[in-house]
Chain A
């Protein structure tokens, strides 16, 4: 029979684990470093993001507001990419066919990849679909936009991107 202090160690370990578990997948918020995009199994070509202002958007083919968001991101891409903005749209579609049909239909001018295993979405703990993260040159999240509201979200992003690009 194991000595009683082993029971104590085990129970203390369990208590510590239980206390820490709820914080294991904390939601990424403004001020946090955005997780590394490489090594999480994203399918597609990742753009160069080092030292750039990046807009990471999580979307899905089954999400109606995501359809509305793509033309707006196209306009932001056209306006700001010459000054160094990178837009990366990360699909959480499990179905490759649905993903490809969406991309074929909307033909985005910015980078699109698929998070088929949904590892990045889970790591970031995306609060809703779509959600976009504006990341500064140091890889830190500066703003989070949950949902896409025509006119409003685009204007907010336009203003925020302008301010971030002006930072050295």
Chain B
């Protein structure tokens, strides 16, 4: 009985970890590397146009490529 209660309480202790929506979160002040222009997938306009052309040809789909800018998430 006591052992069951012990494990039940230890299990309960672990629950708040599951409650966090985003457990591995890069905080706003830690995003220096993400803000680097090298992290912008659209930094090469010609390469972007090429990959969009390939995507359109193969998938018969265009657009929906995401938003501009790198990953600092500012503003």
> Which residues in A have some Cβ–Cβ distance to B below 8 Å?
4, 7-8, 10-12, 14-15, 17-19, 21-22, 58, 60, 62-66, 92-95, 98, 115, 118, 121-122, 125-131, 147-149
> Which residues in B have some Cβ–Cβ distance to A below 8 Å?
2-3, 5-6, 9-10, 12-17, 19-20, 27-32, 35-36, 72-75
Q: What is the minimal beta-carbon distance from A23 to any residue of chain B, in angstroms?
A: 10
Q: Which of B28, B35, B36 has the most CB of A within 10 A?
A: B28
Other-chain residue from A8, A66, A98 in contact with B2 (beta carbon distance below 8 A) = A8
List of B residues within 8 angstroms of A147 by Cβ: 74-75
Other-chain residue from B5, B13, B20 in contact with A17 (beta carbon distance below 8 A) = B13
CB-nearest residue of chain A relative to B14? A18
Contact across chains for B2 and A4 when beta carbons are under 8 A apart: yes
Contact across chains for A22 and B16 when beta carbons are under 8 A apart: yes
CB-nearest residue of chain B relative to A68? B75
CB-nearest residue of chain A relative to B10? A11
Bound-state CA distance A109–B49 (Å) is 44
Bound-state CA distance A66–B31 (Å) is 14
Contact across chains for B32 and A122 when beta carbons are under 8 A apart: no
List of A residues within 8 angstroms of B20 by Cβ: 22
Contact across chains for B2 and A21 when beta carbons are under 8 A apart: no
